Amino acid sequence: MILHFIAVAKFCSSFFKFSMIYVHCDCIFSVILPCHHAGNTLGEIASHKAGIFKPQIPAFTASQCTEAMDVLQEKADELKVPLKVVAPLDHNKLKGLTLSLSGDHQLTNASLAISLCKCWLQRTGNWNKQFQDNDWEANLPEAFLRGLSTARLSGRAQIVCDSSSKSCASSDLAENSSGDLIFYLDGAHSPESMEACAKWFCSATKTENVSPAILSPSAYDVERERKVWVNGYNHQEWGSIEEFNKISKKILLFNCMEVRDPQILLPQLLSSCASSGSYFSKAIFVPSMSTYNKVTSSTSVIPSRTSYRSLSWQFSLQRLWEKIVHGIELDSLLDKSNKVNGTDTLPPHKFLYEDASHCRPSDGRFACSTVFPSLPLTIKWLRECVRENPSLRVQVLVTGSLHLVGDVLKLLKR
């Protein structure tokens, strides 16, 4: 819910070139999803969110399920709030432009932003001054189109090409994400957002593999492109140019807060990717660097930071992942492997190169996943892997937690 609001706010601020706008006369809602902070049912959550309603002040909402919509409408009627349900933005209104924030759900956020800004401009007497001759129903104002196509939201459907790789050295390459080590970052942490994240990741990686934007058509022979998808591998041959003869591998870098349910999140991610024909060859579970503490009163004591951090949660995520992949419990094998290797021992680089078909649960060799003791070590290890094998293109999906995504961006200096 909060992230939907932030996306709408990003669109709004881009319309007016402000870092942020504060609207006192209107309020908005996006799609109401289960949220452990606001209630146990959609009705309870909707009631919590409806607390923002102000008497006789317009409000906008995306389409809701019946349970949530009934609660919102009841509260709106009570306060005489004009509540309007906003449909997703029609692609045709973009005049050939593309929303800068990826994902089909952003069409709803864009529509909410448009409705909010128009209402705000009208109520402040600026709509006719700014867009007097504009046919609102047929054409969006130029400022709105500019905002929709340029808004940025870090950590949501964001692609970063690691600049430490020689193929990613230039800023142009980084923008077009066609290097050896590419991070796809999305702070999805609910089943619904995880599904949206998976669809975006699959679309982004397939688009990149089919047509690298940084290359002119003369740089390679499109007709000779050949791809073989096996267990997270995508082998490409771009004509006879060695640089573009890459083996692409999809890696999952995952962590989630313990209040989340990975037994829902991970299967949702895997099934959504599989439905698009994409598969992870390896999964890496790692603790976030960021910490959080629940403060219940002014006398709450915030514990001091410690260098030691238990990896028990990450190992539980790994066990769940291996169970999903192999369909059997591997607790004893993983526990034995972890005791042998220890938490300070990093896997050899060949772990990354082997595909899922080489996983042999019977002897614990080349498991489909691993646990790293820290995020900096993970990034360092990935960089070493791609440097060691220049024919490798590693596509890393970072998801499950905004803390994790933020920490990765910090390490990548973004």
**What would the CATH number be for the domain defined by 158-212+223-289+310-411?**
3.90.190.20
Which of 317, 289, 280, 319 has its CA nearest to residue 397? 280
In the prediction, which pLDDT does 357 show? 58
Per-residue pLDDT tens digits for 314-332 = 999 999 999 998 876 665 5
Of the listed ranges 34-48, 112-126, 169-183, 191-205, the one predicted with least confidence? 169-183
Which of 317, 234, 245, 319 has its CA nearest to residue 279? 234
**C-alpha to C-alpha distances, 233 to 50, 209, 269, 282, nearest whole angstrom:** 47, 11, 18, 10
Contact indicator for 314, 347 with CB cutoff of 8 Å: no
**What would the CATH number be for the domain defined by 2-150?**
3.40.1190.10
The residue extents of the domains of the chain are 2-150, 158-212+223-289+310-411
Find where tokens 């193929």 sit: 167
Q: Radius of gyration (Cα) for the chain, nearest Å?
A: 24
What 3-state class would DSSP assign to 410? helix
In the prediction, which pLDDT does 232 show? 43
In the prediction, which pLDDT does 130 show? 77
Per-residue pLDDT tens digits for 195-224 = 999 999 999 998 766 443 333 333 333 333
In the prediction, which pLDDT does 173 show? 41
- In whole angstroms, what is the distance from residue 104 CA to residue 195 CA? 11
For the beta carbon of residue 41, count every other beta carbon within 10 angstroms.
12
- In whole angstroms, what is the distance from residue 101 CA to residue 129 CA? 29
What's the pTM value of the predicted model, to 2 decimals?
Answer: 0.73
